[in-house]
Amino acid sequence: MEYRRLGASGLKVPALSFGAGTFGGRGPLFGAWGTTDVREARRLVDICLDAGITMFDTADVYSDGASEEVLGRALKGRRDQVIVSTKTGLPTGDGPADAGTSRSRLIAACESALRRLGTDHIDLFQLHAFDAGTPVEEVLSTLDDLVRAGKVRYVGVSNFSGWQTMKSLALAEKHGHPRYVAHQVYYSLVGRDYEWELMPLGLDQGLGAVVWSPLGWGRLTGRIRRGHPLPAGSRLHDTADYGPPVEDEHLYRVVDALDEIAEETGRAVPQIALNWLLRRPTVASVLIGARNEEQLRQNLGAVGWELTTDQVARLDAASSRTAPYPHFPYQRQEGFARLNPPLVAPAPAVAA
């Protein structure tokens, strides 16, 4: 397993990390993701550690906290071998104090996460969403207190826009608060919006990308293809409306390219999609989830080899989309591109 620095920090994380959203299995969304219990979770953790996966990511909103509970019990006796990452900020109830990142909510959420995880510190504590109702200074000063108290080691964000991230980083620097070192983002071959603004920001400001849903919300598993109905066992039947939208024709164009490269390499479609992500700028770690041992072992096959330059170019071309304003002139027009060279190799233009 390759280990990479997480943004502009000294923390080294594995190229692949494990997302524990399948642990617990409570509610309509997370119940469809998976229902892994403690015994099964221990087995998956064993496999991860044997493969060099040392970072495990969860959130308080996953299965109403059950994911954190199951993960904590699965890690019992080997806490010092792993990096524990969790998130807070999304609603966990209907009360006024059950959502957001106010000082009181952050402190309570951190204490609850520590209790459920059965640990005395969280290695990476991330804000799951931007809270427009709480001053950024209040958020940052509270995170500073949690770091100084030893309850949190590093801080990050998830699903922030560019201006929200940059404002937070600027104020952290101004007031001497801990800077965010990670941005947990959606990024996949069928969802490349991250490249247009957040990737350049991450490169400039030292934010490492921790990628969620790298298989496009379950669309790049190799089971969905042009001209075939959605497989009976696909979680998309129950969860498609919760995740990022993907137009069918765009998905099929990407899957066609993946299928071609799968024949050339002898690799599974998910392994190719994950390997493509691992080559992208700013990507520190890609979160893989698994409902069972078979899925986990297949995803582990994404490392230890590399796509060729030609294969990457073909995947880039198949997945390319026209960027929204103000980004498309920099993508299409030579004068703009000369001022701001692309971070990744430009792909041939395709229909939006």
Q: Are 315 and 343 in contact (CB under 8 A)?
A: no
C-alpha span between 223 and 236 (Å, rounded):
11
C-alpha span between 168 and 157 (Å, rounded):
10
Give the 3-state secondary structure of residue 221: coil
Beta bridge partners of 14: 3
Residue from 196, 159, 184 nearest 344 by CA: 196
C-alpha span between 277 and 283 (Å, rounded):
7
- The reply to whether 62 belongs to the active site is yes
**SS3 per residue for 296-346:** HHHHHCCCCCCCCHHHHHHHHHHHCCCCCCCCHHHHHCHHHHHHCCCCCCC
Among 62, 180, 194, 330, which one carries the catalytic annotation?
62
Q: What angle (nearest 5°) sits at the alpha carbon of residue 195, between those of residues 194 and 197? A: 80
Catalytic residues: 62
